[in-house]
Every structure is written in structure tokens, then in C-alpha cells.
Amino acid sequence: MDGNGRWAQARGLPRAEGHRAGGKTVRRVLGYCRDADIRYLTLYAFSVENWKRPKDEVAALMHLLVDYLAHEEPMLHEHRVRLRIMGRREDLPPEVDAALTRVERATAAYERQLILCLSYGGRTEIAHAARELARLAAKGELDPESIDEDAIARHLYLPDVPDPDLIIRTSGELRLSNFLLWQASYAELYVTPTLWPDFGEADFKAALDAFARRDRRYGGISATPSPQS
């Protein structure tokens, strides 16, 4: 969800106002996903690297998160959306973690899922899985020779969540920025110059239309040869 700061800067507003506008976009996108019958929506809300930002901006982001939960929880119940958190929860302020935990528990029975990546990094997640496997091996509960891709996947933060089919990057940046590095191996990428606060239904439909045209071969060959073949 990139571009909040640039959106605010272009309007002569504090960066926090860009993040607030970005929160409104989250509500809209949840609605788009519901209408398109998309079961999983994962949002990169705050990375492990984002802690390096100015303290006042980080504090504003944490405050906005708690405020967002308070205002949007009824919407999660209305649309039967389960909130889940992915990342280093121990890094979050106690009051933020408590608010997240409360909403997670209150929505746990719903099938459609909104996954917020908070204090998250793809490399950090893979390192976490490696440590968990190492602990099991040290206790004699795991043969190192048995470690394969499935074993690593089972020890990621949310192993029951399927790998993403589509990753949308707003603001025109051409990089993953340490997002779902393991899970994104065969995800289709879509980049739009639209800043996140301006991301609307037309942008969402354009991303889905682009995805529908992709030929997903997973390392194989196309089942339908092109006319040039």
C-alpha cells in the first residue's frame, strides 16, 4: 500500500493524513474483494524497516491503527471478515497488540480473511521458520535431512493461508520491498502508478483483468501454444 506520504505531500498535508486517507482505501478494497468473491486479502501495513521512520510518524501510525480497529470492527462483523496479524507481534506497543488481539478473537469464526502484515519482513519470516526448525532438530524431534519446502512452509507465520495469486503494488515502485518473499514465488505481479489513497474500483478491476490474461505456467509450458509457436 505505497504512496500515502507522497499523496499527503502533494496536498501540503502531514504524512499522517496520507495514512489516514489510506485507511479509507482499505475499507473500499475490502468491499471490492467481497464483491469479487476474493477470500484472502493481505495488506503490507508496516514493515520491520518502518521502525526506522521518525518516532512521531510511527506513533501516528500506531494510533491510526487502533483508531481504525475501533471504527471498522462493525464492518468486519457485517461482512463476516476475520482479522489476522502477520509479523513480529512482540515489536508492537502493548496497547496496539491488545486491540488487535481483541478483534482477532471477536472475528475468529469468519471464513473471509483480512491479513495485516505488521512489523513484517519476508526475510525475517524465513529466518523465523529456520529457527523453529533448528529448535526441533536440536531436541531430536526433526531429522535435518527431512527438511524440504513443505517443512519450511509449515513454520511460516500463517502456514494455513494459501500463497497469493496476485500482488498489487501501488505508486509505480518496481520491487517487492521484502513482502512475502517465500509465498510470492509464483504470484502474478501488477504495478500501478496510482498512489494508495487514490486506489479505486477502476484500478482494482484493471488489476483483476490483467491477472485474468496471464498464462500461469509454474515453470512448465503453456497448455495453449501461441500462434508463433
Q: How far apart are CA 97 and CA 87, in angstroms?
A: 12
Cα separations in angstroms, 159 against 44, 61, 79, 88, 227 = 17, 27, 24, 15, 40
Q: How far apart are CA 40 and CA 115, in angstroms?
A: 7
Q: How far apart are CA 134 and CA 141, in angstroms?
A: 10
Choice among 50, 97, 178, 198 that is catalytic: 50
- List the beta bridge partners of residue 81: 112
Half-sphere exposure of 169 (CA within 13 A, CB side): 15
3-state secondary structure of 51: helix
67 CA to centre of own chain: 19
Q: Is residue 50 among the annotated active site residues?
A: yes
Residue 16 and residue 2 in contact, taking contact as beta carbons nearer than 8 Å: no
Q: How far apart are CA 48 and CA 36, in angstroms?
A: 31
As annotated, the active-site residues are 2, 50
